[in-house]
Amino acid sequence: MGFFRLILALAVFIDHAHEILGREISVTHQSANIFIWSGHAVFAFFILSGFYISMVITEKYSKLSNGAGKFYLNRALRLYPVNWLMLILFAWLILSTGEKSFLVFDTEPGKEWLMPVALFCNAFFFGAELIPFSTPENWNYVIGPVWSLSLELYFYVLAPFIVTRSLKTILALTMAGVVLRITLYALDFPVVPWRYFFFPSSIAFFMLGVLAYRLYIEAKNKSWVIMAGKISALALIVFIVTPQLWTSGDQDAPLSWLFYLTVFVCTPFLFELTKKSKIDRITGQLAYPVYLGHFVVMSVVLHYYEGELDKSVVSLIGTFLFAFIAYYAVDIPIERIRLIISKTNNAKELNTLNQVISRVAT
């Protein structure tokens, strides 16, 4: 599923390129033949996250001593280092341009109280979506897509206590989330903030992913599962490249839910089809730094690039460069630590972990 995750990240890139770099750019939905809108891509990410997290907890962490603690630590090591690299790059940009920003402890009058809150939320994600929840002008205190990672972390906190529950409980939580979301849509609650930043309205997507993992358990040993994976890949490709399926902008319109349900049904089969592909795995590893880093790369290009090549193309190249650096310089060394943590059950293994951390730090 790595290629699909990367396509979702690129869908977010395209919409943000329009917002930051302007409409007259080369990298568009039409030129890339990727018609998924950014909000839908984020919710699809939530479905995939529910699937993966349910899998790793059920198959690994639930069987380990202090499994929940190890799960939390591993998630932190997966998400935070790349984010901190992005924030360092953004702080450098702010310092070099002389602009005001909470990242360099310089903010507008009357907002001093918000600066430490914003620093914490952008560094550790928790609560980032609440900063602009009722005050849209506070968007300046949230860097790029960090708000969505706050919702991810809420799910991570709950996941060890949810994903191993009975199928009846999983179905009930999923239906409750879907009903809440459809109710908010029917009552004309705006997408922002109530159907975007309000975690209870987003939990439906994570739970669809958890439910997809239960479907995977039942189907993975069936003789037809690979064929189902190929059909799933084709179905998702149709959604990606067909503009007629993206005619309604609301995230809860019928066509939008057709997309979410397609992702839900296809996820377990697509995973089975691609799980042994090294190329697909590496591609998937790049999706997170592409998703997280594109905003700051575009900002750098907007301020400093004056060449003839289109700014969106330069931004795309720069985003992949950031992603490769993050993956090879940050993710791979830390992955060694994460693998040891996931298997650590005694004092000897803890000592080995400390030795690895010391070598990586030096």
Q: Is 163 helix (H, G, I), strand (E, B) or coil?
A: coil
- The single-letter code of the amino acid at 196 is Y
Q: How confident is the model at residue 213 (pLDDT cuts 50, 70, 90)?
A: very high
**284: pLDDT confidence band, cut at 50, 70 and 90?**
very high
294's CB contacts (< 8 A; 6+ apart) are 9, 12, 13, 16, 144, 315, 319, 322
Instruction: Identify the band that residue 336 occupies on the pLDDT scale cut at 50, 70 and 90.
Output: confident
Amino acid occupying residue 9:
A
What residues does each domain of the chain span? 2-361
| Spatial distance between the Cα atoms of 338 and 64, rounded to a whole number of angstroms | 14
Q: Can you tell me the distance from the alpha carbon of 202 to that of 187, in angstroms, rounded to the nearest whole number? A: 16
Q: What is the pLDDT of residue 99?
A: 87
Taking a C-beta distance cutoff of 8 angstroms, is the pair 292, 125 a contact? Answer: no
Whether residue 188 has pLDDT greater than 70: yes
Q: What token pair was written down for 188?
A: 């004309």
pLDDT at residue number 106:
85
Residue in the block written with tokens 């650590």: 344
Nearest alpha-carbon partner for 157 in 39, 272, 73:
73
119 pLDDT exceeds 80?
yes
Q: Once rounded to an integer, what is the mean pLDDT over residues 240-253?
A: 91
Q: What is the mean pLDDT of residues 210-218?
A: 96
pLDDT score recorded for residue 341: 75
| Structural element, H or E, at residue 161 | helix 146-162
Interval 161-177: pLDDT, tens: 999 999 999 999 999 99
What span, in angstroms and rounded, lies between the C-alpha atoms of 117 and 121?
A: 6
> Tell me, what's the pLDDT at 52?
97
Q: For the full predicted model, state whether its pTM sits above 0.75.
A: yes
Mean pLDDT (whole number) for 267-275: 95
Of 101, 107, 128, 106, the C-alpha closest to 117 is 128
Q: Per this entry, what is the length of the chain? A: 362
- What are the Cα distances from residue 107, in Å, to 95, 99, 144, 193, 234? 13, 9, 18, 24, 49
pLDDT-derived band at 340 (thresholds 50, 70, 90) equals: confident
Residue 249: pLDDT over 90: no
Structure tokens at 148: 């969505």
Calpha distance 229→30 (Å, rounded):
27
**pLDDT tens digits for range 288-333:** 999 999 999 999 999 999 999 999 999 999 999 999 999 999 999 9
Confidence of residue 111 (pLDDT cuts 50, 70, 90): confident
- Give the mean pLDDT of 123-139: 94
Beta partners for 106? 101
pLDDT in tens, 16-54: 999 999 888 999 999 999 999 999 999 999 999 999 999
Q: What is the mean pLDDT of the chain?
A: 92
Which of 66-70, 311-315, 335-339 has maximum average pLDDT?
A: 311-315
pLDDT band of residue 344 (cuts 50, 70, 90) is: low
pLDDT band at 3 (very low <50, low <70, confident <90, very high): very high
